[in-house]
Structure 1
Amino acid sequence: MTASPTVAKRYIEQRDKGFWIEGTRVSLDSVVYAFLNGESPESIAQNFPLLSLEQIYGAIAFYLANRKLIDVYLKEGEKEFEKLQQSLGEKNPSLYEKLKAALMQKQSKT
Structure 2
Amino acid sequence: MSLALERESPPLTEDAAGAIRVGNSRVLLELVIRAFQDGAPPETIVQRYSTLSLSDVYSTIGYYLRHQQEIESYLSEREQLAESVRQQLSEAQPDLSLIRSRLLAQKTHQTCHAEVAERREL
Q: Same fold by TM-score, threshold 0.5 exceeded?
A: yes
Paired with 1:33 and 1:97, the residues of 2 have a C-alpha distance of 35
Deviation at 1:64, TM superposition (A): 1.1
Greater Rg by CA: 2
Deviation at 1:77, TM superposition (A): 0.8
Unaligned segments of structure 2, at least 5 residues = 100-122
Report the count of equivalent residues. 97
Paired with 2:64 and 2:76, the residues of 1 have a C-alpha distance of 14
TM-score (norm 1): 0.74
The structure 1 segments of at least 4 consecutive aligned residues displaced by more than 6 Å after TM superposition are none
Paired with 2:98 and 2:66, the residues of 1 have a C-alpha distance of 40
SS where residue 8 of structure 1 aligns?
coil
Paired with 1:94 and 1:3, the residues of 2 have a C-alpha distance of 66
Contact 1:12 1:62 in 2 (8 A): no
TM-score (norm 2): 0.67
Deviation at 1:40, TM superposition (A): 1.1
Partner of 1:22 in structure 2? 23
Amino acid at match of 1:34: A
- Per-residue CA deviation, residues 49-105 of structure 1 (Å, 9 max, x unaligned), is 11121111101011111111111111111111111111111111335999xxxxxxx
* Alignment partner of 1:61 is 2:62: yes
Unaligned segments of structure 1, at least 5 residues = 99-110
Amino acid at match of 1:64: L
SS where residue 13 of structure 1 aligns?
strand
Cα RMSD (Å) of the superposition? 2.3
